[in-house]
Amino acid sequence: METLLYLVKFGAIYSILYIIYFIFFRKNTNFQVNRIYLLLIIPTAFVLPFINTSVEVATQYQVILPTFELTNLNTETTNFSWSTLSVYLYIIISSILLLKLLINLFKTLQTITKIKNGEIKETLSFSFFSFIHVPENIENEERIAILLHEQVHSTQIHSFDILIYELSKILLWWNPFLWMGLNSVKSNHEFIADKLASEKVDKYSSVLVAQLLGVNCSVLANNFNYKPLIKKRIMMMKTKKSNRLSVLKYVLVIPIVALTIVISTNKEVIANSTQPTIEITIDSVYTTADKMPKFKGGTEKLMTYLGNNVKYPEKAKENKIEGIVYVSFVVDNKGGIKKTTILKSVDPLLDAEAKRVIENMPKWKPGKNKGKKVNVQYVIPINFKLKK
């Protein structure tokens, strides 16, 4: 589930950055700057969720939970889990898209091979990385214009941008803004190639009109003849060049990205060392926190979760290792499990298993004190006990 949460953050950050592009920059004729922006927002959205920021809190409450006892005869139970189902469904859809991408890539490479071998002659103009194809039956003046256009795609490696977005679609297939972003990338590629090629060829717009008929070679290739975009390409060529000062609008993205970091990134809890830590046993009355964090379903469900997930390490059973491992963890103000540590160790095998299960716990309902969500430190003893 942590991976799915990360992907949601990835998608949300990308959406914000793309919406900024769509509103402020898509009509600019600073095509190269637009290309850089559309390309950089992918790794930016990918990296930001990993950034940690520190938040100091005045008090960190500590609660000692009842001891969970595990014997070597615990049996595995299989419970239906919506979270597990959602993970499998996500993986299936992503796998289908990956397979589709591989098929398209194979077809593109197969077409290129057939063209080189002279098996295909009717395919329309396109380029894919360093490969450029322009049919020989096109008149010389038009052929030169198309060739110059495709050379721009090739030398600037526009196919790389498309592959980056296609790979991102596999991870964020649910995000409509990513699909829109891919279309924007392809359109911007054509604007760049048109601009540079038209500087070297007279009546370049006439060549575009002449190429209106036909179909695309591949969704991965740069196609000169992409019919739905030709009208827009002609209009963009006639659009007045954007003022250089318009590039300064991209600076507006900086404070928005900074705000996104604050909102979306992981916040590490740092307890103020000048404040006392309050220890509370499970039977005590919670007087210091108005509302304590709660495992969904309560303590009984927590014990069920531990019973279903803690496994006695085989090597520890063979070596007759047993004992109580005390694990400390923090339920943060968002319900996440953070700062899992071993307070009292028994053996590395038992320690590792206890820590693994606690770190993989689902989110809790966060606690509150005086109406504000707080971070609560819990300690849970896990008793690894061999059956006599």
Q: What is the pLDDT of residue 52?
A: 56
Amino acid letter at 207?
Answer: V
The DSSP string of 202-225 is TTHHHHHHHT-S---S-TTSEETT
DSSP letters, 160-172, are HHHHHHHHHHHH-
Cα separation, 377 vs 265, in Å, equals 21
**Coil, helix or strand for 54?**
strand
Q: Any idea what the Cα angle at residue 261 is, between residues 253 and 176, rounded to 5°?
A: 70
Residues in the chain: 388
Cα gap 4→94, rounded to integer Å: 12
pLDDT number for residue 218: 56
At 272, give phi and psi (nearest 5°): -75, 120
Q: What is the reported pLDDT for 352?
A: 92
Amino acid 123: pLDDT: 75
Beta strand ranges found along 162-297 (DSSP E): 222-223, 266-271, 278-280
How far is residue 190 CA from its own chain's centroid? 27
pTM check: above 0.75:
no
Backbone angles phi, psi at 273, to 5 degrees: -70, -15
- Residue type for position 30: N
Q: Contact, 166 vs 188, CB < 8 A?
A: no
Residue whose token pair is 């395919």: 123
10-residue averages of pLDDT along the chain (388 residues): 82 92 88 93 89 48 64 49 80 96 94 90 83 83 85 94 96 96 93 86 65 51 60 68 66 70 52 37 41 84 88 88 89 86 90 91 86 84 82
Residue 155: predicted pLDDT: 95
The dihedrals phi and psi of 300, each to the nearest 5 degrees, come to -65, -45
Task: Name 119's Cβ contacts closer than 8 Å, sequence gap at least 6.
Answer: none
The one-letter code for the residue type at 3 is T
Question: According to the model, what pLDDT value does residue 74 have?
Answer: 46
Q: List domains and CATH numbers for the chain.
A: 2-53+81-261 (no CATH), 55-78+269-385 (3.30.2420.10)
User: CB under 8 Å to 99, separation ≥6 — which residues?
Assistant: none
d(CA 48, CA 13): 8
How far is residue 133 CA from its own chain's centroid? Answer: 35
Output the pLDDT for position 261: 62
